[in-house]
Chains A and B, each alone.
Chain A
Amino acid sequence: MATKSGASSYRKPFWTMSRREAAWAYFFISPWIIGFVVLTAGPMLSSLYFSFTKYNILDSPGWLGLANYRNLFRDPLFWTSLKVTVYFASLALPLGLIVGFFLALLLNQKIPGVNLWRTLYYLPSVIAGVAVALMWMRIFNARIGLLNPMLDKLFGIKGPGWLQDPDWAMPALVIMSLWGVGGNMIIYLAGLQGVPTALYDAAKVDGASLWQRFRHVTLPMVTPVIFYNLVMGLIWAFQYFTEVYVIGSANANVGGPARATLFYNLYLYQNAFKFFDMGYASAMAWILLLIVLVLTTVVFRSSEFWVYYEGELRGRG
């Protein structure tokens, strides 16, 4: 089989090492590629198309141009749903950040039974959903609930009607979300545990106080985690649905009282699956995507000023 001509007659085989490796790579990631095309990219493009049409599933879509978007901007309920969602996010996200971070700081100390505490605080996040919403509904109930008598007994406060009261429904939902703050906490905890102890030791040697160590070591080191939680929290607020839907339908007043809990995702759901206005709902979905993109970009851009990445070269050491 020995040939004399050597290189001249040698043909590079098609299946080189690197091609073979690439083929294996694509073989293994093929489930995701198929899923991405069929279940993500394709549907996204179709929903963009639907957003320019009148479509009720039964008849084929009819072209409307920008009418859905024009109508949305004139729709007072659309603005209400945006306001409700932003109001919720502006309360729930900062409070969730503060409480979650504070708990993570406490649970990052060497105290007896720390694993038990962590487990307990994480517990509400594993049971979130319909059952928990139903539970809180009863706790907030002004007549047979638990919260108002307790407020009365402990602080002498006469509690409001909570979920039945347009002004207090939102604070009630925020309290509910804070009960499940353990999910935030565990991510902050991961961030705190990633802070090298050497930094604390160095700060101690330099005589930094507890507050200084927190302000100049802990806080900068976990800003990436805060950033991550902030971005995910924004998306979460715009997806908020189960709790308000469950409570609303049990009170036979979805989005109520007085549309105080008409969240963006709830209004989108109603348009799509109650009024079967798929075009309108698709337009809402795309506006939502734009909002999330804009907000994330803003947070990303601003992150330059407050998020610290280790190993990054900077003017000020």
Chain B
Amino acid sequence: MTAPTRRPQMTGRQSQVAVRRSRFASIKVQELLGKAITTLILAAGAVIILVPLVFMVSTSLKDRNQLRRSPPPLIPIEYTMVEVNGKEEPLYEVTVEGATRQMALIKNLPEGRGVFVEPANPDQTYELVIADQKQMEHWEAHWENYPEALTSVPFDKYLINTCIVTFVGMAGMLLSCTMVAYGFSRFRAPWLNVLFMVLLSTIMLPGQVRLIPMYVLFNKIGWVDTLLPLIVPAFFANAYDVFFLRQFIMTIPLEMDDAARIDGANPIQTFLYVILPQARPAIVAVAILHFIWAWNDFYEPLIYLHSREKWTVAVGLQTFSALYSVNTHLIMAASTVMVIPCIIVFFFSQRVFTQGIVMTGIKG
């Protein structure tokens, strides 16, 4: 609203249209610019997200020699060596007399200079500044790190244990949580609302207040150092998943229940044949969340599992890293193996995921 813009004289209607057009164009340009900047910022962030993962995988493919390089290259590459007079020497791309040739560095001289020779003709030497030449590198991935990492500790056993804990626990969680969510969403009963508030408040309860007595209890009944303490509690429902499933079940039209009841279905049948099929998207979402949580869980397996053959991947990997912390490449290989199932599950269920969470997130 500062200085009035100068425009060529036009008739009223013409000028109106022109103003509208230019304003429309400027809004469009603004929008486009905004989108471009947004994409740019997101791309920069994406680099920050991806670089650590790339580094993990590339480290898992290096050998000890490659690991010593600093700064570490983001892909598993190694300096190319060539045999000169029976000795392995590093190969460089050297520019002499205007031509680029491949030469080996056979001797370091003071002041950053070095003696270079062509491997085929080792008698003719060139004295050049090393920093001006380009050292040759080639892709060298040590895939054998993977079998080595996976056999140096009983990873197959850890994997089986983790799968048992994850999937049996998942079955228990799904069974109990769908039942409880159905109970909280479709019936009226005295105290039911109060109980639901109690359930919700347990979300905020720090796990530590029940941890020690539970350990004592499981110890008394001989369950410590078995997988049972990690599996059995899943059969007794948890607040998060019940809340999530209940929110979803509330959106299923009541008419469906009524129709089933008129057809003579009892609540168990309604639950099995109406609610469960209708709630499938929510059940899938909860199952995937459980998979990821159980797969990565560390605290409880650490506390309950003492002997080596009972460990889950998380505990096995941590112990492996504490014992062999110098074997960075093997630790990263094992870490990659641990991460891959989660990434695969995530990508296959990505729609369910972002939609499911975005849909029910925390909205009441």
Interface centre among A117, A134, A190 (most CB of B within 10 A): A134
Q: How far is the CA of A107 from the CA of B179 in the complex (A)?
A: 36
Question: Quick check: is A29 within 8 A (CB to CB) of the other chain?
Answer: yes
The interface stretch among B87-95, B122-130, B207-215 is B207-215
* Closest chain B residue to A265, Cβ basis: B208
* Closest chain A residue to B234, Cβ basis: A35
Contact: B210 with A109, CB < 8 Å?
no
Beyond A126-B346, A190-B357, A265-B208, is A27–B183 a contact (Cβ under 8 Å)? yes
Question: Quick check: is B145 within 8 A (CB to CB) of the other chain?
Answer: no
Contact: A144 with B206, CB < 8 Å?
no
* Closest chain B residue to A117, Cβ basis: B42
What string of 1s and 0s marks CB contacts (under 8 Å) between B33-60 and chain A? 0110011011001101111110110010
Q: How far is the CB of B333 from chain A (nearest CB, A)?
A: 11
* Closest chain A residue to B347, Cβ basis: A119
Q: How far is the CB of A185 from chain B (nearest CB, A)?
A: 10
Contact: B206 with A288, CB < 8 Å?
yes
Q: How far is the CA of A83 from the CA of B345 in the complex (A)?
A: 38
Question: Quick check: is B154 within 8 A (CB to CB) of the other chain?
Answer: no
Residue among A112, A129, A268, A273 making CB contact with B314, cutoff 8 Å: A129
Question: Quick check: is B199 within 8 A (CB to CB) of the other chain?
Answer: yes
Q: How far is the CB of A270 from chain B (nearest CB, A)?
A: 12
Contact: A131 with B339, CB < 8 Å?
yes
* Closest chain A residue to B266, Cβ basis: A24
* Closest chain A residue to B363, Cβ basis: A194
Question: Quick check: is B25 within 8 A (CB to CB) of the other chain?
Answer: no
How many interface residues does chain B have, given as a range? Answer: 35 or more
* Closest chain B residue to A33, Cβ basis: B195
Question: Quick check: is A301 within 8 A (CB to CB) of the other chain?
Answer: no
Contacts of A32 in B (CB 8 A): 176, 180, 199, 236-237, 242
Contact: B59 with A138, CB < 8 Å?
yes
Q: How far is the CA of A268 from the CA of B234 in the complex (A)?
A: 24
Interface centre among A26, A103, A136, A191 (most CB of B within 10 A): A26
* Closest chain B residue to A228, Cβ basis: B362
Q: How far is the CA of A264 from the CA of B350 in the complex (A)?
A: 35
The interface stretch among A5-13, A90-98, A161-169, A237-245 is A237-245
Contacts of A284 in B (CB 8 A): 208
The interface stretch among A40-48, A62-70, A74-82, A212-220 is A40-48
Contacts of A38 in B (CB 8 A): 236
Q: How far is the CB of A120 from chain B (nearest CB, A)?
A: 5
What string of 1s and 0s marks CB contacts (under 8 Å) between A223-259 and chain B? 0110010010001001101100110011110000000
What string of 1s and 0s marks CB contacts (under 8 Å) between B183-224 and chain A? 110011110100100110010111111111111110100000
Q: How far is the CB of A124 from chain B (nearest CB, A)?
A: 6
Interface centre among B69, B74, B179 (most CB of A within 10 A): B179
Contacts of B184 in A (CB 8 A): 25, 28-29
Question: Quick check: is A196 within 8 A (CB to CB) of the other chain?
Answer: no
Q: How far is the CB of B254 from chain A (nearest CB, A)?
A: 14
Question: Quick check: is A31 within 8 A (CB to CB) of the other chain?
Answer: yes
Contact: A144 with B70, CB < 8 Å?
yes
Question: Quick check: is B147 within 8 A (CB to CB) of the other chain?
Answer: no
Contacts of B335 in A (CB 8 A): 130-132, 134-135
Q: How far is the CA of A35 from the CA of B72 in the complex (A)?
A: 51
Contacts of A34 in B (CB 8 A): 236
Beyond A109-B35, A292-B204, is A285–B187 a contact (Cβ under 8 Å)? no
Q: How far is the CA of A152 from the CA of B71 in the complex (A)?
A: 10
Q: How far is the CA of A31 from the CA of B74 in the complex (A)?
A: 51
Contact: A268 with B183, CB < 8 Å?
no
Question: Quick check: is A278 within 8 A (CB to CB) of the other chain?
Answer: yes
Beyond A25-B192, A29-B180, is A242–B298 a contact (Cβ under 8 Å)? yes
Beyond A246-B321, A273-B303, is A47–B209 a contact (Cβ under 8 Å)? yes
Contacts of B202 in A (CB 8 A): 36, 40
| B contacts, CB < 8 Å to A | 34-35, 38-39, 41-42, 45-46, 48-53, 55-56, 59, 67-72, 74, 175-176, 179-180, 182-184, 187-190, 192, 195, 198-199, 202, 204-217, 219, 233, 235-237, 242, 267, 271, 292, 296-299, 302-303, 314, 317-318, 321-322, 325, 328, 331-332, 334-336, 338-339, 342-343, 345-347, 350-351, 353-354, 357-359, 361-363
9 further contact pairs, Cβ within 8 A, besides A25-B184, A31-B237, A130-B318: A46-B216, A57-B216, A122-B353, A153-B71, A190-B359, A239-B206, A285-B209, A286-B209, A292-B204
A selection of 22 A-B contacts at a CB cut-off of 8 Å is: A21-B187, A29-B183, A31-B236, A34-B236, A35-B176, A35-B236, A39-B210, A43-B210, A47-B213, A115-B354, A127-B296, A127-B342, A134-B335, A138-B328, A146-B55, A190-B357, A191-B362, A242-B299, A249-B321, A252-B322, A285-B206, A289-B208
| A contacts, CB < 8 Å to B | 18, 21-22, 24-29, 31-36, 38-40, 42-44, 46-47, 50, 57, 103, 106-107, 109-112, 115, 117-124, 126-132, 134-136, 138-139, 143-146, 149-150, 152-153, 179, 186-187, 189-191, 193-194, 224-225, 228, 231, 235, 238-239, 241-242, 245-246, 249-252, 265, 268-269, 272-273, 278, 281-282, 284-286, 288-289, 292, 296
The 4 closest A-B pairs by CB, nearest first: A35-B236, A28-B183, A149-B71, A190-B361
